[in-house]
Amino acid sequence: SQTIHQWPATLVQPVGSPLSLECTVEGTSNPNLYWYRQAAGRGLQLLFYSVGIGQISSEVPQNLSASRPQDRQFILSSKKLLLSDSGFYLCAWSPSSDPQWAFFGQGTRLTVV
């Protein structure tokens, strides 16, 4: 069966520090991958999605970037965190054959101080 892993579960980082959040999927190949952010009062916002290695679509211009170095690995990064980057980050995957079915990881709670 397919599983999705996200880590770390919680993270506290100072303003100006770099960020790297990792997401991996097991049990499937060539998944579509997504990064969402849930900020207080703003619901779930799609940040990036990828349909293949090296293919990244950005939905919202901001202080973050994403990379997909391997088929089942999706990384969210920042060179210098801002206070406004605080939030709950969720990774998701969906089968490329049925992209409308998305499955979510357990999320990373990021607090920028």
Partner 1 sequence: GEDVEQSLFLSVREGDSSVINCTYTDSSSTYLYWYKQEPGAGLQLLTYIFSNMDMKQDQRLTVLLNKKDKHLSLRIADTQTGDSAIYFCAEWGNTPLVFGKGTRLSVIA
Binding site for partner 1 (CB under 8 A): 6, 32, 34, 36, 41-46, 49, 59, 90, 92, 99-107, 109
Q: How far is the CB of 80 from partner 1 (least distance, A)?
A: 27
Residue type, 15: V
Q: Provide DSSP, 51-76.
A: EETTEEEESS-SS-EEEEEETTEEEE
Look at residue 95 and give its three-state secondary structure: coil
Distance CA 72, CA 52 (A): 9
Residue type, 14: P
CB nearer partner 1, residue 37 or residue 72: 37
Q: How far is the CB of 94 from partner 1 (least distance, A)?
A: 8
Distance CA 30, CA 8 (A): 24
CB nearer partner 1, residue 18 or residue 27: 27
CB nearer partner 1, residue 34 or residue 74: 34
Q: How far is the CB of 56 from partner 1 (least distance, A)?
A: 13
The β-bridge partners of 38 are: 44, 88
CB nearer partner 1, residue 15 or residue 34: 34
Q: How far is the CB of 79 from partner 1 (least distance, A)?
A: 25
